[in-house]
Structures are given as C-alpha cells and as structure tokens.
Amino acid sequence: MTRYSRIIGTGGYLPEEIRTNEQISQTVDTSDSWIFERTGIKSRRIAGPNETASSMAEIAARQAIEAAACDPEDIDLIIVATGTPDRVYPSTGCLLQQRLGIKNCVAFDVQAACSGSIFALSIADQYIKSGAAKKILIVGTEICSRIVDWTDRSTCILFGDGAGAVLLGVSEETGILSTHIHSDGEYEDMLYCPNPQVATEANKDEASYISMRGNEVFKVAVNTLGRIVDETLEANNLEKSDIDWLVPHQANIRIIVATAKKLKMSMDQVVVTLETQGNTSSASVLLAFNEAVRDCRIQRGQVVLLEAFGAGFTWGSALIKY
C-alpha cells in the first residue's frame, strides 16, 4: 500500500503565569498600545522556576497520546524541536522519553529555531513514508523567557513559553501532502542567541540573550514566506482557494496578515494565538494547531497550511489534509 503520515492526536501546554504588556512597561520604556500596534501581542506565558522544556513537553505529549488513544509503547520515534533544551546533552527528546516511560524507541532533538516543528514534521513524514516508523511523537517546546534580556525593549516584548505536540500515525489515506524546508546561514547575525559556554576570545563578554535586528528580519520573513506559499501550492497543483486554514508561526501580526493576503485568505481562516501567547518559537505552530483542533475550527478532511520562519535563517511549510 501507499503509506501516508497522518496526524492522529494533538496536545498543548501553557504555563500559568501571564505577563502582560502593562507589566513589561513598568520596567522598560514602552506601553501596551505601542507593543500591540507593532506586534499584535497583549500578553505571554512565563514558565515557573521548576518548569523545563522537557516537563512542558511531557504535558503536551500526554495530551496528544491520549487524544490518539495510543499506547505509548507503540511510539517508534520522538522528535523534540527546541532552542532552549534542559541540557546541552542528553537531548530533550531523551529526557522526554524517560518522562513518558517509553523504552523501545529512538529520541532526538531538532534545532531550527522557530521553524523547528516544521522541520520535525518533514523528518517524521519521511520516516513514515519509508516504512521506518509507524507512530511518531513530535513536540515543540520552549522557555524563551530565560534567554530574553528583560531590559531590551526590542526583544522582551515578543517572546513567551509553552509546548505543542502532535502524534503522527501511518495511514492509507492522505495526511501530510508535502513538506518544504529551507535554510540560509548568510543571515546568521540578524537573529541569534550566543552560547557563552563555548565563547571565543572575540565574543567572550557577549551575554547569552536573544539578539535581533527586527526590521531586517521582518522584511526577509515576509518575502520568504510569500515564496514558500507559492512553492507549496505549485508542488501540490492547488489553487489558493483550496486551502481551508492557515496556521502560521506566531511571530508578528503584520507578518501573519501579509501571508494571509498572499493566499487571498480572510483572517477568519487564519489561526492566531499571538495576542495571548506571544512568540513561543518552535512551539507556536503546534500550539496554534492544537487549539484550533480542540475548539473544532479545524475539521477532519480540511486542507491546512502550516508555515514558519526562524533564526538561521530557516523556513518551511507543511501542507496537510487533516
């Protein structure tokens, strides 16, 4: 038979603490209206002192496993997308495997910044189509609040914490129609977070916080995501009108609106969680997808375009028939 990978369960987790724009404006020179007008963000979730990428991943993963009515021991592969791992090694994937009590599977991490969950979906799709796996757990999990300089107005307003998960299974019915992933290291200095543990003499005093040239990143993101839309539609011989839902990376409302305009889609067909979650990096697409599945906006049989853009630069899309 022809093998397809299909999403059979979703999950998500957001920490309890809510940090509003008003709270941020008490420590940096900004305001709720200034932040919201430029980003579309009103608040974001902040992980508790005892929470980690793997602890949040476990909650989201268990939801996805339960939704799929899956025995955890049937999972062949765990892929965790994160830029804020618990440890340098072992991987957060291995730590999640231990938390879930799964013995007989492979686990590893993918680091593609905000595009991580799309990259993970692309990898998982190949594993299932090749017959190398039957059930794959994908989790995007981030504690961005710990790599943000809360005195830097240009970045501290943007990011939040959370975890999203999907469980893929093998199916005779079409599920993931195609995935498209790209990277270009030429832009590595526009958006990055240094690792002081491996600092060289040239950057030894550099703080380990996110650094971003926002206006330049915005321009590249809009152009790049426009191209990935064209690439995805062409690969599947589809028209823009064939897409039922857009689930974009939640970075900036202006980028999301520009992508919707490219697709000639009403914002009613776009899943937006940005206002209350901020940018949760590799978790954002899966968190948004889970929310729209659970509130019944996204229905079985509908065609959904997932897309993301992140540091590297990396970018990608996944077109799925849910």
Three-class SS of 111-133: CCHHHHHHHHHHHHHHHHHHCCC
Residue 79 — very low, low, confident or very high, per pLDDT cuts 50/70/90? Answer: very high
Cα-Cα end-to-end distance for the chain: 20
- Asked whether the predicted pLDDT for residue 202 surpasses 90, the reply is no
Q: What is the pLDDT of residue 200?
A: 65
Domain ranges (residues) in the chain: 4-173, 177-321
The answer to whether residue 298 scores a pLDDT higher than 70 is yes
Indicate the class that CATH gives domain 4-173.
alpha beta
- In one letter, which amino acid is 204? K
- Measured over all CA atoms, what is the biggest interatomic distance in the chain, rounded to whole angstroms? 60
| pLDDT category of residue 206 using cuts at 50, 70 and 90 | low
Q: Hey, do 4-173 and 177-321 end up sharing a CATH topology, with the first three levels equal? A: yes
The CA distance from 308 to 178, in Å, is 15
pTM: 0.96
pLDDT at 201 over 70: no
Q: What is the pLDDT of residue 195?
A: 86
Residue with tokens 């990096």: 281
Convert the pLDDT of each residue in 153-188 to its tens digit.
999 999 999 999 999 999 999 999 999 999 999 999
Quick one: 177-321 is in which CATH superfamily?
Thiolase/Chalcone synthase (3.40.47.10)
Q: What residues act catalytically?
A: 114, 249, 279
